[in-house]
Amino acid sequence: MLKDLLDYIMLKFFHYKGIMALVKGRYVKAYHWMQKVLMISNTPEYQYDMGIILLSLYKYEEAVDYLHKVLIAVPDNEIALLAYAQSQSMLRHWEEATESFTHLAAQHPTNLSYQRYLELVRNSIKREKNICARELVNLAQTEVEKGQLNEALTHLREAEAFDPQNPQIPNNIGAILISLKRSNEEILDHFEKALSLDPENEKIKRNIVYFRHKMKI
């Protein structure tokens, strides 16, 4: 009984630490905490958390393994299925990705994003451009964390060429330009481009208001 109680306390502590690390973007720490969790309780709830952490670490094959276990136990888990489909897409496993997005679109016919994902993975040219852009964005994020801002900027510009409709790319470029101390005009141009692609994004709007005020526009 005492061991069960101790395991329960440790489980909750490790899980809390893992989730907090995940929320803060400290994915390696989150991974190590979740390993401890799974040693105590290897259940779908915690397998899902590990799958999301691995997806955040760009370890797609391992993420697929964990998320597949979750879906065996809970086949209609929407969030797990979406993460599974995204992982399969990043691995370029198009048959599996198409099957997953087809299931999501059928389950949630009013969710237009699933319809768009399904259309994307069925188009060989568009899907390849999308994945190339996402790979470059992920690479840029890693470079930013290492302080390699010029390299990150180069890869984001390459990503934008593959996916010019993604508002987060010019927004991220603007953020890097701030760190590189580029001109306010150049920074504002990228934030305004991002807003034109995502007019309801409040974060981008705040960035624009700040820089217009700074430039006294």
Q: How do residues 63-107 score in pLDDT, each as one tens digit?
A: 999 999 999 999 989 999 999 999 999 999 999 999 999 999 999
Give the pLDDT confidence score for residue 213 in this predicted structure. Answer: 74
For the CA atoms of 112, 114, 120, 123, the dihedral, rounded to the nearest 10 degrees, stands at -100
Name residue 43's amino acid.
Answer: T
Q: How far apart (Å, rounded) are the C-alpha atoms in residues 1 and 66? A: 30
For 24, the token pair is 């803060």
DSSP-assigned letters across all residues of 41-107 = ---HHHHHHHHHHHHHTT-HHHHHHHHHHHHHHSTT-HHHHHHHHHHHHHTT-HHHHHHHHHHHHHH
Instruction: State the Cα–Cα distance between residues 153 and 134, nearest whole angstrom.
Output: 14
Burial level of 153, CB count in 10 A (0-12/13-18/19+)? buried
- Look at residues 117, 119, 149, 109 and name the one whose alpha carbon lies nearest to residue 134: 117
pLDDT of residue 108: 94
Is residue 67 within 8 Å of residue 46, measured between CB atoms? Answer: no
- Say if CB 107 and CB 76 are below 8 A apart: yes
Q: For the chain, list residues with pLDDT below 50.
A: 1-2
- The pLDDT of residue 76 is 87
Average pLDDT, rounded, for the chain:
94
Q: Give pLDDT, residue 1.
A: 45
Q: pLDDT for 137-154, tens place per residue?
A: 999 999 999 999 999 999
Q: Of all residues in the chain, what percent carry a pLDDT higher than 90?
A: 85
